[in-house]
Every structure is written in C-alpha cells, then in structure tokens.
Structure 1
Amino acid sequence: MRVLQLVDSLDVGGTERVAVNIANALSTKIETSFLCATRSEGMLKQSLNAGVGYLFLNKKSTFDISAVKNLKHYIEQNNINILHAHSSSFFLAVLVKLRYSKVKIIWHDHYGNSAFLNNRKSKVLKLASYFFEHVLCVNQTLKDWAISNLHCKHVNFIPNFAVSVLNKPETQLKGIEGKRLVHLANLRPQKDHETLLEAFAILVKSNTDWTLHCVGKDFNDDYSRQIKQQITALKLEKHVFLYGSKPDIAHILKQSTIGVLSSKSEGLPLALLEYGLANLPCVATNVGDCKKVISSQTEGFLVEKQNSYVLAEAITKLIKNKDLQETIAKHLYKKVTQSFSEEAIINKLLTIYKQYI
C-alpha cells in the first residue's frame, strides 16, 4: 500500500497537522507513505519523519498545468495507489485523476465552519465528488452534510488525533509560571479571540498576575488588526501576548497552566486533543464535536459560545482550585489517549484504505 497525503501548505494549522500526523503514522504501517504540499511549505515540514516521501509542487494558480503534470508523474513513478486529499486540495486531486484514472481519491473534509454549512460554497466540490472513492469527515455534522450533498456513496466520520511532537524548544512564554492561560488557534474569525479577550479582561481584575498566551498564525489582515486594537483598548498589553506560528507546541504547553478554546465553530479541534496530551485542564466552547472530547465536568468545562461572562466564570473556577485543575487534567489525558489515540484512528483509516487496493 502506497498512500500520498495531499495538502495545500505546511503552515501550522489543524488541517496541515492532521495531514502530517497521518503521513508520519503511516510511515511504519504501510509500504511507503508520502506527503505533497501543493502551494507553500511551512514550519510543519520539519515535523515530517525521515521515512515519509516528500514533494513540493509550488502551485501558482488553480489551473497550474505544470503542477498537475508533476504530481501525476510523481504518482506514477512511485506507484502510489491512494491520493488522500485534505480540504481544498481535492481539486488538484481530481485534475490528476482525469489524467491518471488508476489512482483512488479519498477526500478528507476539515471544514471548520461546520456550524454555518448553509453558507458553504460547494458547487465545484459537489461536481468533484463524483470522482471520490470515499469521504472522511472530522465530525458528525460534516458527515451528515456529505451524505446529503455529495455524490459519493462511502462516507465516514474519522476523528482527529494528536501526537506530541518534540521539536527543539525555542519559545519562552512570558508571565509567571503556574499562572498562564494558553490559546492554540490561528488568528481567524471563527476562533473568536474577541470573546476570549473580553473574558480575560473580566477575570484579570481579580487575578492580576495571570497572563494569556495566544499561539497561532497571524495573517496580518483586518481581523488581526482588530484583535490587536482590542488588546490595547482593554489595556491588556502587559497581560496578553501574541506569538504567531510556533513549531515547539509541546514545549509551549509544558509551560502553560490552563488551555482555552473560544471558537464560534469547530470540527473536532486538534488543540483540545493537544491540551489533553499535555495534561492541561481546559475550558472550551460547546461547538462542533468538542463535546465528544469533554463529555463530563471531570474532563473540562464546556461553555456557551460568544458569552464572555460564562467563559470568564469557568476559567476563574479553575484558577481558584488547583485540585480541580489536577483532576480535570488527569481525566482529560485518559480520555484523549484512550479515545483519540494515533493507533485507534490509524487502524480505522487502514481498514478504509484496504478497500481500494
């Protein structure tokens, strides 16, 4: 079995990390595992195992004929059976299949705005789905949508899994040890940094030595500028720190005390699984499949989205109770390692792959 993960970039993001995690995990399970970054490289390139075959296409446009030819040649040359396309890379996968019908396409839907599927632009995706052998979805909502809207008979829910990647430590968090909140999320509107900042402004009044550490890609766009202006307006410059993308996530989490996730919409967030692996207690909004990870109050707190008061209250409850922090961290770690382990998810994936060999 020879499988290639196809992904737009290797920037630090949920979709990209899942693609890398799968490629790495498969490198010891199948004959050969490959990964292709189509548009850009990024920090995650250094996380690829040596046993993973790697191709960068440097694709310049939607209809980049050179990229199509190069990928087709690579697939033929390496006798690749399955093209596992993540998110928007499905389009390139279909263009390749039109030239090389032997390869089987499995499409992985990571759509983060699953709470707003009515707004999804999907005409091209629906046409492309005639060429998919199988669709994998990161939550049940996306699975239901795929069954109703796509032209593919085989659809499965495959949860994300997290791994602790021990890259060289390089990021030193500011603030006081034991009093740091961490938020792993790119600066995108769906991650709702606004509500998190409002909540932090409330709780820091009575917890003045606590700090908030936001780690994720800064796109330097309107949303980014809005968040930075909000930090200034709330006079949080000495308490809130933006780090951008970082490769040493495990090291960052080791320095943190409580994990938070304030999203308006999610699939099954990798950040939540990473908090669990890092033995962090956490507070998250009740969106997407967060409830599959935090299914009881012994595993963390789930709160209403876009409500800064309930978010602040839940975080404060953890801040005030170290025993509760330890209890939740222990139970969440157990949940993540048992239900969202690499071994369990990869075995499910291999069962699906084997249908098309």
Structure 2
Amino acid sequence: MSRKLKVLQLQGRYNVNASDLAEQIIKGLPADRFEVVTAFLRGAPGEGEPHSVASRSVYFDFPQSQLKGLRLKAMHRLYQFCREEGFDVVIAHRFKSMNMLMLLNRWLKIPLCIGVQHGIGDFDRAYRRFESRLLLTDNWRVVGVSRAVHEYLLGCGGGFTPRNSLKINNAIDIQRAERLLLSREQAREALALETGAFVFGTIGRLVPVKGQIYMVEAFATLKDRYPNAQLAIIGEGRSRADLQAAINRLQLAGRVHLLGARNDALQYVRAFDVFVMPSLSEGLPLAMLEAMAGHLTVIGSDIDSLKPLLEDSGGYIFPVKNVTALAEQMVRVLELSAEELTAKGNTAYEYLCRAHSIDDYRQNYRQLIEQALNPEPANHG
C-alpha cells in the first residue's frame, strides 16, 4: 500500500465553523489516502470553540507585527515547520499565506502548492505582480473562488495563466442549509417580524463595505407607496450607529429592523421575501448562496464578484452605491405576483444546485491535487 499524501492547509487567522470552506476541502480528501494538517498563522480556538476536522491542527499564534514587512521570524518558523513535516501538498488561503509559501518554496521544493484567492484586488500593486511573476513556478496552481476572481487573476498581469490558474466556485452544503432553515413562520416569530409584511432582508457585518446604508436610503424612497414593505438587517458592527441615525433621520422606525448578530444566521433567511446584497466589495458571498438555498429572489450590486452570479441565477442587478437604481429594482420585485416571486426564487435555487454544490467543490479540489501530482501521460496515438 502506498503512503498517504501529506497535506498542509495554511490559513491566516483561526476561523473554523460549520460552513468554513477550508474544512470542506479536508472532508473531500479521504483519510485513507491523505493526512491533512491545518495551520493558522494567527489565533487559536477559545473554550468551546470548534477545532478543525484535520488530523492535526497547529496554531502559530504569530503577533500581527511579525506578519508585516519582511516577516523574517514568521518566515523562518514556517520554513522550519514545513521542512520538518515534509509535505507533499500545501493549500494556502488568501494572499498573505500564499505569498509566504511562494517565497519559501524556492527552498522547500514542495511538489504541489495551491493558492486560493478569495477576492479581487490583491494584485493591484505593481510590486506584488512582479513578485508573483517571479515566484510562480510549474508546481503552483492558483484557484479563483468565482468566475470574477478567476478572470481578475488572468487579467491582472501577475503571471496567472489558464495553465496555472483555475476556477473552483465557492459552495455551500445545500442539504445542511435546508435542514437548518426555519419555516417562514418560525423565522419571523424568532426575529419578531410581522407575519404579513413583505420583507427585504440582508445578512452581513455592519461595516461600510457591505453597503447597508444604500439599502436603507433606497427603502426610504418607496416606504410610503408600499406600506406593507419592511427591511430587516441581521448583523453587527461599527456601522450600527450610522445606520440607526439614518433610520431616525428618514423616519423609518418600525419599518427598518437592525436585528443584531445571530448564530447560524442562515436559519432565518426564509423570514425574508427577497434577499438584498448592496456590497461595495465581495469575494464570493456565502450569504447570497445561503439565501438561494431558501429559494429567495435576490438583488445585488454590479460589483465584479456579484454580477456574474446574479446574471446566472436570474437575480436583479443595480449599479453599486446607486440608491435610485436599487430602489427601482426593489419596486420591480414588489410588483411581482406571488407566483412570479416564487418562480424567481426557484430559478436561483436551481442555479445554486448547478454551480455551487459542496460535493462538486470537494471533488474539484481532490481532483486538482490528484491530477497535478499524477498527470496523465500524453496520448501519442
């Protein structure tokens, strides 16, 4: 029996939860063929917090200061660790982890390195593109987590090509999501939302980049024409005071609800009639996919990472930050019949199953590893 392939999954910060896609990659690597070690550059689980499903977890717990600039101490420790372990494969998530491995692998010579890029913009700086072109060797594969991220990589000038780069869509465990989802009545009762209201909803941190302020301002322009409409926002963050001030200024008390952070917020999506994502920047937002699991009609901004997803799922699109255009799309949805709204939600769900299945996601990473390490011989017949 051949030995197991030894895989390191390297992440910037500790973050393990039920929908964590790094954990889903591990679940796609059979334990009889792969030994997976998960390592986090920063952070560690507190009491009661989950651990990775990997066979072993390593918490470097570097202070933030050691991960800036030349990062010599952190680089040296990571080099020693990788050299001692003798990994066959490293999967590095996000720019910092990927960049550190690109530098170190000039000496480590790990047979296969996979960089997972979750967002757009990491290679906008000229020196990063130059460094990437210099360090991308034949044993590197770089994954974009959506069509938009993959197209960004190919076009950014960082040395990413169709040969060394590919798209593996972020995904969710649709069956798990459906098991968690509360019914419309249960979700509305839990959130104290009116049973008969038409609810626009969103889930996300309350931070400026999520664009919730534009959603509130758009809702204010239509609230008088549609007295049955309400807006619900699940999440917490530093923008709460600004959002509350806008609610007061626009006289939206009782119509716009800041519901705070909720554990497993996914379970509440059926409380909404429509899911809105007014973000200014995203990688591939799992909250949008979770809304599709609830058969919701979706509206989103036209940022590069959202537009293809909305186009392919039959969603509604508006120019980012454009309050008037967002309000127009919200009105379009309000004017749909119940049957049309249901059909739109079903179209989104069908797209989700077709393009973002967790089984396909796991299989794609496993095949990437197997094919890169054992390429099929050329057919000269």
TM-score bracket, shorter-length normalisation:
0.7 to 0.9
The answer to whether structure 1 residue 32 and structure 2 residue 50 are counterparts is no
C-alpha separation between the residues in 2 aligned to 1:207 and 1:25?
47
Counterpart for residue 196 of structure 1: 215
Indicate if the aligned counterparts of 1:159 and 1:340 stay in contact, CA closer than 8 A: yes
Q: Describe the shift of the 1:345–1:12 C-alpha distance in structure 2 as closer, same or farther (beyond 3 A).
A: closer
Q: Describe the shift of the 1:143–1:232 C-alpha distance in structure 2 as closer, same or farther (beyond 3 A).
A: same
Would you say how many aligned residue pairs link Structure 1 and Structure 2? 345
1:243-258 pair list within 5 angstroms = 243=259, 245-258=261-274
The answer to whether structure 1 residue 80 and structure 2 residue 55 are counterparts is no
The answer to whether structure 1 residue 136 and structure 2 residue 146 are counterparts is no
Indicate if the aligned counterparts of 2:79 and 2:108 stay in contact, CA closer than 8 A: no
CA shift at 1:198, angstroms? 1.0
Indicate if the aligned counterparts of 1:231 and 1:237 stay in contact, CA closer than 8 A: yes
88-97 or 345-354, which moves further after superposition?
Answer: 88-97
- Structure 2: segments with no counterpart, 5+ residues: 374-381
Counterpart for residue 224 of structure 2: 205
**Equivalent residue in structure 2 for 1:182, among 189, 201, 204:** 201
**SS class of match (2:320):** coil
Counterpart for residue 288 of structure 2: 272
The answer to whether structure 1 residue 108 and structure 2 residue 116 are counterparts is yes
**SS class of match (1:211):** strand
Task: Tell me the C-alpha RMSD between the 2 structures.
Answer: 3.8
Indicate if the aligned counterparts of 2:23 and 2:53 stay in contact, CA closer than 8 A: no
Q: Describe the shift of the 1:34–1:254 C-alpha distance in structure 2 as closer, same or farther (beyond 3 A).
A: farther
CA shift at 1:260, angstroms? 0.8
C-alpha separation between the residues in 2 aligned to 1:276 and 1:197?
22
Q: Describe the shift of the 1:51–1:110 C-alpha distance in structure 2 as closer, same or farther (beyond 3 A).
A: closer
2:326 is matched by which residue type in structure 1?
Answer: L
The answer to whether structure 1 residue 283 and structure 2 residue 286 are counterparts is no
Indicate if the aligned counterparts of 2:16 and 2:50 stay in contact, CA closer than 8 A: no
CA shift at 1:261, angstroms? 0.9
Indicate if the aligned counterparts of 1:192 and 1:263 stay in contact, CA closer than 8 A: yes
Q: TM-score, normalised by structure 2?
A: 0.74
C-alpha separation between the residues in 1 aligned to 2:45 and 2:246?
29
- Structure 1: segments with no counterpart, 5+ residues: none
C-alpha separation between the residues in 2 aligned to 1:270 and 1:80?
30
2:343 is matched by which residue type in structure 1?
Answer: T
Counterpart for residue 309 of structure 1: 324
Counterpart for residue 58 of structure 1: 61
CA shift at 1:327, angstroms? 0.7
Q: Describe the shift of the 1:353–1:37 C-alpha distance in structure 2 as closer, same or farther (beyond 3 A).
A: same
**SS class of match (1:268):** coil
Q: Describe the shift of the 1:41–1:323 C-alpha distance in structure 2 as closer, same or farther (beyond 3 A).
A: farther
The answer to whether structure 1 residue 90 and structure 2 residue 93 are counterparts is no
**SS class of match (1:5):** strand
Indicate if the aligned counterparts of 2:144 and 2:166 stay in contact, CA closer than 8 A: yes
Indicate if the aligned counterparts of 2:205 and 2:236 stay in contact, CA closer than 8 A: yes
**SS class of match (1:149):** coil
Query: Percent identity between the aligned chains?
Result: 17
Q: Describe the shift of the 1:30–1:293 C-alpha distance in structure 2 as closer, same or farther (beyond 3 A).
A: farther
1:182 is matched by which residue type in structure 2?
Answer: G
C-alpha separation between the residues in 2 aligned to 1:35 and 1:217?
29
The answer to whether structure 1 residue 173 and structure 2 residue 181 are counterparts is no
Q: Describe the shift of the 1:42–1:299 C-alpha distance in structure 2 as closer, same or farther (beyond 3 A).
A: farther
1:273-352 pair list within 5 angstroms = 273-295=289-311, 299-320=314-335, 321-352=337-368
Mark the structure with the bigger radius of gyration: 2
Q: CA-to-partner distance for each residue in 1:12-31, whole Å, 9 max, x for gaps?
A: 99xx9433443344467952
Counterpart for residue 161 of structure 1: 171
305-314 or 209-218, which moves further after superposition?
Answer: 209-218
CA shift at 1:74, angstroms? 6.7
Indicate if the aligned counterparts of 1:175 and 1:210 stay in contact, CA closer than 8 A: no
Q: CA-to-partner distance for each residue in 1:110-132, whole Å, 9 max, x for gaps?
A: 22459xx7xx3352464156156
Indicate if the aligned counterparts of 1:180 and 1:211 stay in contact, CA closer than 8 A: yes
CA shift at 1:212, angstroms? 2.6
CA shift at 1:236, angstroms? 3.0
Q: CA-to-partner distance for each residue in 1:244-287, whole Å, 9 max, x for gaps?
A: 55441331224333211112344433222221122222112233
Counterpart for residue 3 of structure 1: 7
C-alpha separation between the residues in 2 aligned to 1:315 and 1:249?
23
C-alpha separation between the residues in 1 aligned to 2:225 and 2:15?
37
2:118 is matched by which residue type in structure 1?
Answer: H
C-alpha separation between the residues in 2 aligned to 1:236 and 1:324?
28
